[in-house]
Amino acid sequence: MLYIERNDNGTIAAIHQTPTDKATEQKTLLDEEVIAFLGKDSDLDSWIQLLSLSDISIIRVIEDLIDVLVKKNVIMLTDLPEEARDKLKERKRVRKKMGNDAIIVDDII
């Protein structure tokens, strides 16, 4: 989720990863106003940062997709490279310790 800071005219002045005193309005990555704001910025770094924010949420989706495919015997975990298996196991352990192994809608959006 992105947090929008608006100027006196009501247009987007800044986009933040976390809420601030001036940025409490939430918008998604695909919001047309967010895309238009970023489109004004010819700096490639803004677009790279936006993509990296979406990477965080898509990782959870991919982890859960792999779990479903394994459970349905579509793929075997051993079909994946050892490094990938190790990373998945590590993340699964961390998520289990967090006590939150289910996808949360806000994490996806």
48 part of a folded domain: no
Per the DSSP assignment, residues forming a β-bridge with 26 are 3
Q: Are residues 62 and 33 in the same domain?
A: no
Q: Are residues 63 and 105 in the same domain?
A: yes
The Cα 30–Cα 106 span in angstroms is 14
Sign of CA dihedral 77, 78, 81, 84: positive
Q: Are residues 34 and 78 in the same domain?
A: no
Domain span at 19:
1-42
Q: Are residues 69 and 107 in the same domain?
A: yes
Provide the whole-model pTM: 0.53
52 part of a folded domain: no
Print pLDDT tens along the chain (109 aa).
Answer: 789 999 999 999 998 888 999 999 999 877 889 888 877 766 667 677 777 777 777 888 899 899 999 999 999 999 999 999 999 999 888 888 877 555 544 444 3
50 part of a folded domain: no
- Helix, strand or coil, per DSSP, at residue 7: coil
34 part of a folded domain: yes
51 part of a folded domain: no
Q: How many domains does the chain have?
A: 2
